[in-house]
Amino acid sequence: MRTIDWIPAPDGPGHIQLIDQTRLPDTLAVLDVHEVDELIDAITRLAVRGAPALGVAGAMGVVLAVQTQPLDQARQAITRLRAARPTAVNLAFGVDTALAAFDRAGAPGALDAALAVRDQDIAACRAMARRGSDLLTELVPGRERLTVLTICNTGALAAVEHGTALGVVEQLHLEGRLERAVACETRPLLQGARLTAWELARMGASYDVIVDSAAAITLARGGVDAVLVGADRIAANGDTANKIGTFAVALAAAHARVPFLVVAPETTVDGDTATGADIEIEDRGSDEVCTFRGLRVAPAGATALNPAFDVTPAELITAIVTDARVIDLSTGQVPGIEQETS
Ligand code: MRU
């Protein structure tokens, strides 16, 4: 099934159906979302997550808002929806795309636009999988089967049907070229251990989960051919925001001279953001770090820093694979992006 989809209703408003990722890997449960505030709640507690899926959620959320609320309330709800997770640019992209279509062509226009965002994601992930697999043939010549390391979840659960970085891993597996995947567990919410491992198991791929802090030694010991990660926002100079821990993995990959690839759709490239320093990093508060599934793991009263993302500088990125191209960052800029000069 799709991670997120629109369920039309013959005589009235449709609704969003999505996989509730907070219940995985134990239970594959579906959430039916009829109101935009329910969607904002699902986004905030990461029932739906991952940049491409958030783009689709944002676009479909606009449809929910305009079909269930008076226009002034709908616009306020859409503003809250757009801000629900600030780092992933795809959420704002999805909202803006559907809202512009609504302003042009009303609710039917918004729905068409939202379905197009969904369908473009499906096509983009297919294109990235093939392009990423071909690039690995060039970057790691003479290796029939590859071991790749990844962090967070960039699979179908982070998109609609297939993933970005994990979509490349799936492609390698389908081509018989995947030796093993190494999935960083991804503290504090365990997207790697819970979701990536679940997806790899369903694919029938061989894999190991490691704690995030084992990534450096795993790379330094040799035996990992490439690192593949996703992105939440790529700045105009190629600096890339992704799940917390990605920067540390990139440093370790550089030390071990292992190619480090970012795999993301063109919609994640944000020409309005000049460098990584301009990317807003979501802080998710102390509880996720100081407790584990309701159990306190730090002393009562302890506070934590909990940045959900970090920024990998462009110079640590071997290449960015999108649905349209392989971006070589050697010029210090993502080509084709026009920066406003002030
Ligand atoms: O906090 P999350 O789980 O939404 O973070 C997701 C990531 O960082 C992913 O790597 C990114 O969104 C790319 S998903 C294809």
What is the position in ligand 1's atom list of the atom closest to the CA of 264? 15
The reply to whether ligand 1 has any atom less than 6 angstroms from the CB of 163 is yes
pLDDT of residue 10: 85
Q: Is 239 a catalytic residue?
A: no
Mean pLDDT for all residues in the chain: 96
Calculate mean pLDDT across residues 130-136: 98
| 167 touches ligand 1 (CB under 6 Å) | no
Mean pLDDT in residue range 126-154: 97
Task: Tell me the mean pLDDT in the region 121-144.
Answer: 97
Nearest to 312 by CA among 275, 286, 341: 275
CA of 282 to the centre of ligand 1 (A): 12
Which run of H or of E encompasses 57? helix 51-68
Q: Is the beta carbon of 269 within 6 A of some atom in ligand 1? A: no
- In angstroms, rounded to a whole number, what is the distance separating the alpha carbons of residues 334 and 37? 36
157 C-alpha vs ligand 1 centroid, how far in Å? 10
**Residue whose entry in the numeric block shows the structure tokens 């969904």:** 118
Given the CA of residue 308, which atom of ligand 1 is nearest to it?
A: 1
Nearest 5°: phi and psi at 109?
-65, -40
Predicted local confidence at residue 339, as pLDDT: 55
Check pocket membership of 135 for ligand 1, CB cut-off 6 A. Answer: no
Average pLDDT over residues 173-190: 98
Task: Say yes or no to pLDDT of 139 above 90.
Answer: yes
Q: Which residue type, as a one-letter code, is found at position 30?
A: V
Measured in angstroms, how far is the CA atom of residue 235 from the centroid of ligand 1? 16
Residue 332 pLDDT class (50, 70, 90 cuts): confident
**Helix 36-44 / helix 51-68 crossing angle, nearest 10 deg:** 160
> In this structure, how many other beta carbons lie within 10 angstroms of the beta carbon of residue 234?
33
Query: Which of ligand 1's atoms lies nearest the C-alpha of 90?
Result: 12
The answer to whether 208 and 182 have CB atoms below 8 angstroms apart is yes
Catalytic site residue from 225, 232, 239, 310: 232
On whether the CB atoms of residues 173 and 185 are closer than 8 A, the answer is no
User: Which of 97, 32, 108, 104 is CA-nearest to residue 66?
Assistant: 108
Confidence of residue 12 (pLDDT cuts 50, 70, 90): confident
Alpha-carbon distance of 28 to 247, in angstroms, equals 31
Both tokens assigned to 342:
């002030």
Q: Is the C-beta atom of 88 inside 6 A of ligand 1?
A: yes
235 and 272 Cβ atoms separated by less than 8 Å: no
- Mean pLDDT over residues 284-295, rounded? 95
Residue 39 has pLDDT above 80, yes or no: yes
pTM above 0.75, yes or no: yes
Q: What percent of the chain has pLDDT over 90?
A: 94
The band of 342, judged by pLDDT with boundaries at 50, 70 and 90, is: very low
Q: What is the secondary structure of 272-298 as a DSSP string?
A: T--SGGGSPPPB--SHHHHEETTEE-S
> Residue 27 and residue 52: Cα distance in Å, rounded?
23
Q: In the sheet where 178-184 sits, what is the strand order?
A: 207-210, 178-184, 146-150, 226-229, 260-263, 319-321, 326-327
All domains of the chain in start order, with CATH: 4-121 (1.20.120.420), 129-331 (3.40.50.10470)
Look up residue 340 and give its amino acid. E
- Taking residues 182-188, report their average pLDDT: 98
Residue 1: band (very low, low, confident or very high) from pLDDT cuts 50, 70, 90:
confident
The pLDDT of residue 174 is 98
- Beta strands 226-229 and 4-9: pairing type? unpaired
The pLDDT confidence band at residue 40, using thresholds 50, 70 and 90, is: very high
First-to-last alpha carbon distance for the chain, in angstroms, is 47
Q: Whose CA is nearest to atom 6 of ligand 1?
A: 50
Average of pLDDT values for 19-43?
A: 98
Residue 3's pLDDT is 98
pLDDT(102) > 60: yes
CA of 251 to the centre of ligand 1 (A): 19
For 283, list phi and psi in degrees, rounded to 5: -105, 125
Q: Which pLDDT value is given to residue 271?
A: 96
Lowest average pLDDT, out of 16-20, 313-317, 332-336, goes to: 332-336
pLDDT tens readout for residues 43-98: 999 999 999 999 999 999 999 999 989 999 999 999 999 999 999 999 999 999 99
* Rounded alpha-carbon distances, angstroms, from residue 316 to 87, 273, 325: 20, 19, 19
